[in-house]
Amino acid sequence: MQVLPNGVHWIPGYLDIEAQRALLDDIRGVVRQAPLFVPAMPGTGKPMSVRMTNCGSLGWVTDKARGYRYQTTHPHTGKPWPTMPQSLTRIWTELASFPKPAQACLVNFYDERAKMGLHQDRDERDLSAPVVSISLGDTCLFRVGETTRSGRTTSFRLSSGDAVILSGKSRLAFHGVDRIYPDTSPLLKNGGRINLTMRVVE
């Protein structure tokens, strides 16, 4: 485990290849029940380049009219989100050191052109709970800063199987994904990157 300057805990190679494959299988099951959707920016309706879905009792969604929020159902199918696979709840228990279970796991899919601008995660009512993130597939260039947008940032590469834990001060750090490095992992046959973020919402 490495602690970065801003208090971000990073565990390179947290999941071995077997565990990555098993988790990916579970995520494929989630995506079959809750298809990836294209999120839109509040106000402008501009599509994000990342595609998303969720599992757990709550899921993060966004659209032009209603903006960023958590809700109990998929925005297109109207069905409740699939339950969180045990592979994920086990990771939460091991890494979060928090008395409550995760309510939401956001699944982000990046193709080779996708990125995520610098932002803070503050749509959760309980900001005392950590966020636990797992990366699968192609490597990305990840950037994390301070709790103000203008703070200095540190960049590092997140690879398949890496875990990141955001707690305490780092929980409100600005962060984003600047780029995906194509063909850096054999895990996803058509390439791309999946990021899973588990959260307590309320």
Residues that bind Fe ion (CB under 5 A): 121
CB of 172 to ligand MD3, least distance (A): 7
- Alpha-carbon distance values, 39 to 88, 108, 114, 141 (Å): 23, 10, 13, 21
- Partner whose binding site includes residue 185, from ligand MD3, Fe ion, none (CB under 5 to 8 Å by kind): none
Is 84 an interacting residue with respect to ligand MD3 (CB under 6 A)? no
Q: How far apart are the first and last CA of the chain?
A: 28
- Partner whose binding site includes residue 166, from ligand MD3, Fe ion, none (CB under 5 to 8 Å by kind): ligand MD3
CB of 165 to ligand MD3, least distance (A): 9
159 Cβ contact partners less than 8 Å away, ≥ 6 residues apart:
12, 13, 135, 139, 184, 185
CB of 16 to Fe ion, least distance (A): 26
Selected binder of ligand MD3 within 30, 40, 129, 164 (CB under 6 A):
164
For ligand MD3, the binding residues (CB under 6 A) are 106, 108, 116, 121, 131, 133, 144, 164, 166, 170-171, 173, 175, 177, 195, 197
